[in-house]
Amino acid sequence: MTYFPATDDERKEMLDAIGTKSFEELIANIPEEVRFKGDLNIPSKLSECEALRELYRIAEENLHTGVSNYLGGGSYDHFVPSAISAITSRSEFYTAYTPYQAEVSQGTLQAIYEYQTMICRLTGMDISNASMYDGGSALAEAIILAAAHTKRTEIVIAGALQPDYLKIVNTYCKSQNINVNQLPLDDGTADINALKKAVTDDTAAVVVQQPNFYGCLEDVFEIGEIAKSKKAIYISVVNPISLGILSAPGDYGADITIGEGQPLGIGLNFGGPYLGIFAVKEFLMRKIPGRLSGITVDADGERGFVLTLQTREQQIRREKATSNICTNQGLMMLAATVYMAMLGKQGLQEVANLCLQKSHYLAEKIKEIDGCTLKYKKPFFNEFVVTLSHPAATVVNKLAKKKILAGIPLSKWDGNPNDLMIAVTERRLKHELDTFVEELRNEL
């Protein structure tokens, strides 16, 4: 590998081009005490061929998630049809920005409109925006909306909420002087008696995740009744795939529904970019953050699409904005739209049912292993927690060497080093599940 440093003449030519006499003059405004002294540890320059070879070598050190993958906790290994990338990579979508000019943005506006329609049908809500950055930011925005609408300053978290979402919520709420009250659990789900005591006339919103972080199904109907009894906003956090077979938030009285849209045709992508679902009942439609596409008729009677209910200037003026987030996640929204259009109602039900059946098959097989028990007795969708006879992190590391991503050790969150959370999607085949069981048995 050969390195050719710049010559003195080349350096002088570059400095002359930018109007400086020396490198020291170029960085004169940087205080001497904060300047790096010594040589930077920068590898030699490479040709394109050499650079690609090096990148491939580094990539081979990763364990690809295409192996037998049981990770979950908010990001799931669902099948992503090839048609999605084929459509989203088209230049008219790939380079499109927020469509302020309706006359040149009809395709993007229609895609947004179709996405909003599908999300409303999926969630049973009245209005959906054109998405947020991810599920966590969507929940934080929902809580800010609820506090502003009710003019109250307390949020009650019922049940187990995704820990990263909770961190985002606490960050948002601290600066808004909103108190976040997370309640204890009862066998993995919300403690209903504690919830009844916690929800008061000062409660702006009650938040519940369905299924919750540990995969358990909450009694969302009773939680909703408790929230409504004190006129609090009811916020539901959903896994959109689960809505193929579970009750829609609109059916159990949710006022705001948010969720992580990654399962809807978006790859794991090392944790992002993702898609924040955000939908509300009609009485909150003028307070919803983000972009809204509406359908109209032009002067010639032709159908057209426009941004509606909000103006660009409303978002630019911070004190008048519904949110500081105003750019829609266009490509992610489009990917979810293509996915939902391809599967349709029946297809989404089939994917959800496969997740349900395969996860329960695996759970029953794991229960037969000596040293393995299901931690919670509550119903679950596609994710569940097992308590092992050995530290979960040790077992996970051993199985990873056999190309099995066994799940998420939960000691960081529940304090038990032996707890392992396992997620199963439609991608896992029966022989993979059986192999996982045998390899897990061998490690215990």
Looking up residue 222, the CATH number of its domain turns out to be 3.40.640.10
In this prediction, residues 36-50 reach a mean pLDDT of 87
267/324 same-domain check: yes
109 in a structural domain: yes
Residue 329, pLDDT > 80, answer: no
242/119 same-domain check: yes
In this prediction, residues 248-260 reach a mean pLDDT of 98
Nearest CA to 169 out of 204, 201, 196, 130 is that of 204
145/253 same-domain check: yes
In this prediction, residues 82-88 reach a mean pLDDT of 94
Residue 358, pLDDT > 90, answer: yes
275 in a structural domain: yes
Residue with tokens 């006022």: 255
In this prediction, residues 25-32 reach a mean pLDDT of 89
Q: Are 77 and 328 in contact (CB under 8 A)?
A: no
The residues, ordered by sequence, that sit 6+ positions from 44 with a Cβ below 8 Å of its Cβ are 1, 2, 3
29/93 same-domain check: no
59 in a structural domain: no
User: What mean pLDDT value characterizes the chain?
Assistant: 92
118/175 same-domain check: yes
Q: How many angstroms separate the CA atoms of 94 and 88, rounded?
A: 6
Q: What is the number of other CB atoms lying within 10 angstroms of the CB of residue 86?
A: 10
- Of residues 320 and 94, more confidence is placed in 94
Nearest CA to 419 out of 382, 439, 394, 441 is that of 394
91/189 same-domain check: yes
Domain count, the chain: 3
* Strand 419-423 with 383-388, pairing: antiparallel
213/179 same-domain check: yes
235 in a structural domain: yes
We report the CATH number of the domain holding residue 365 as: 3.90.1150.10
Confidence of residue 311 (pLDDT cuts 50, 70, 90): low
Put residue 70 in one of left, alpha, beta given phi > 0 → left and psi -120 to 50 → alpha. Answer: alpha
Residue 327, pLDDT > 50, answer: yes
238/327 same-domain check: yes
pTM: 0.87
In this prediction, residues 180-195 reach a mean pLDDT of 96
| Helices and strands (H and E) in the chain: how many | 15, 17
Confidence of residue 24 (pLDDT cuts 50, 70, 90): confident
In this prediction, residues 369-392 reach a mean pLDDT of 96
Q: How many angstroms separate the CA atoms of 109 and 249, rounded?
A: 26
Where do runs of H (alpha helix) occur along 133-239?
A: 135-150, 163-176, 192-198, 220-229
41/188 same-domain check: no
Residue 1, pLDDT > 60, answer: no
- Of residues 342 and 8, more confidence is placed in 342
216/363 same-domain check: no
Q: How many angstroms separate the CA atoms of 159 and 192, rounded?
A: 9
Q: How many angstroms separate the CA atoms of 292 and 424, rounded?
A: 34
72/86 same-domain check: no
Residue 90's domain comprises 82-340
pLDDT at 254: 98
Beta strands in 285-366 (DSSP E): 293-297, 303-307
In this prediction, residues 163-183 reach a mean pLDDT of 95
Task: Out of 294, 319, 340, pick the residue that ends a domain.
Answer: 340
The residues, ordered by sequence, that sit 6+ positions from 134 with a Cβ below 8 Å of its Cβ are 260, 262, 272, 273, 274, 275, 276
Task: Out of 281, 307, 340, pick the residue that ends a domain.
Answer: 340
391 in a structural domain: yes
3 in a structural domain: no
324/392 same-domain check: no
305 in a structural domain: yes
